[in-house]
Amino acid sequence: MGAPPLPYTGVSLSGAEFGSKRPGIYGKDYIYPSLKDASYFLEKGMNTLRVPFLWERLQPELEKDLDPAEIKRLRSLIEGITAKGGYAILDVHNYAKYRGSFIGSTEVPFTAFADLWQRLATEFGNDPHVFFGLMNEPHGLPTEQWRDAANAGIQAIRKTGAKNLILVCGNGFSGGHSWNSDWYGTPNAKVMLEIVDPADHFAFEIHQYLDSNFSGSSPKPVSATIGSEKLKGVTKWLHEHGKKGFLGEFGGANDPVSLAAIDDQLGFLDDHADVWLGWTWWAAGPWWGDDYFMLLRPAKDGQDRAQMAPLLKHVAPVSEGTH
């Protein structure tokens, strides 16, 4: 028997971040997954569903009201998940940009990012089953600039009184394999130590795929142990500095090596439960084509995808989640 599962285990329910048009037309350019999409995973025993969406759709003008129709769609899905006992992650899927400009620029000041999170914390801050994913995969800006943006968002959340768990990505796509690297700027291993949360209730969101450039763009895995190997460095860092981690994105194909790598990667996390809180697979959702190699939605015949088998060996059922 391996170590018990981590507290928070599940999948990203994709769709609301789809499309290049911003805001775009709902139902044509993008879609929110349904509660039925979510229920499939909750009924399988997964308890954590990450919901990506675009900032521009939720807030069409910086530092202005959230769009009523959009927040209603988001709230409907989030409340549907939590009503069933699950945990929902709000994932601002914008790569540290708004309409093409980085947070911290003249066009998108840090105050604009703080304003977004103040509004989201006001909407969802009374529910401990909702986690706040500050920003998906920042890249292309100095790590120090992203640090300042993240700290502004965290301060805004806490000023509302919200005590929700906050997930903070690092710079450079937040790869576990590159946590100590400097190709994207000052290493996350240095700058992310300067993240400040008055409530001290946050975790670093790490992404780690299995292909040769760790992007999740190829179905070919490097090896059956590549996922755990590339998480060792950041896990050591978490241990050394008393920090927590959450594997926000990972995934692989359905060949035997990939399936073994998935099992191995999650087994590694289970073995380090003192620093890892959980994971969400990439991805599920209604608009992925059936040929997407990491798709976790059931096949047309209703059968589970092959990747579900190793995942279910490491899930924390809904009744066992903690907050």
Burial of 319 (0-12, 13-18, 19+ CB in 10 A): exposed
CA distance 12 to 53: 11
Q: What is the mean pLDDT of the segment spanning 261-265?
A: 98
Please tell me what DSSP assigns to residue 215.
S
Give Cα 245 to chain centroid, integer Å.
Answer: 11
- Tens-place pLDDT, residues 98-145: 999 999 999 999 999 999 999 999 999 989 999 999 999 999 999 999
- Tens-place pLDDT, residues 3-35: 899 999 999 999 999 999 999 999 999 999 999
List the catalytic residue out of 17, 56, 123, 137: 137
**b/e burial code for range 52-77 (CB count within 10 A of at least 16 → b):** bbbbbbbbeebeeebbeebbebbeeb
As given in the structure block, the two tokens for residue 252 are 């692989």
List the catalytic residue out of 17, 70, 123, 249: 249
Domains, the chain, in order of start with CATH, read: 8-320 (3.20.20.80)
Q: Tell me how far CA of residue 76 lies from CA of 29, 69, 80, 143, in angstroms.
A: 19, 11, 6, 35
Can you name the residues that pair with 276 across neighbouring β-strands? 245
As given in the structure block, the two tokens for residue 208 are 């780690």
Contact (Cβ atoms closer than 8 angstroms) between residue 36 and residue 304: no
Report the pLDDT value the prediction gives residue 317, as an integer from 0 to 100: 56
Please tell me what DSSP assigns to residue 299.
P
Judge whether 249 counts as a catalytic residue: yes
Which residue from 134, 62, 55 is spatially nearest to 105, judged by alpha carbons?
62
CA distance 42 to 228: 26
Question: Helices 256-271 & 226-241, crossing angle to 10 degrees?
Answer: 20
- Tens-place pLDDT, residues 141-196: 999 999 999 999 999 999 999 999 999 999 999 999 999 999 999 999 999 999 99
Contact (Cβ atoms closer than 8 angstroms) between residue 174 and residue 146: no
Judge whether 144 counts as a catalytic residue: no
State the DSSP H helix or E strand holding residue 13, giving kind and residue range, or none if neither: strand 8-13
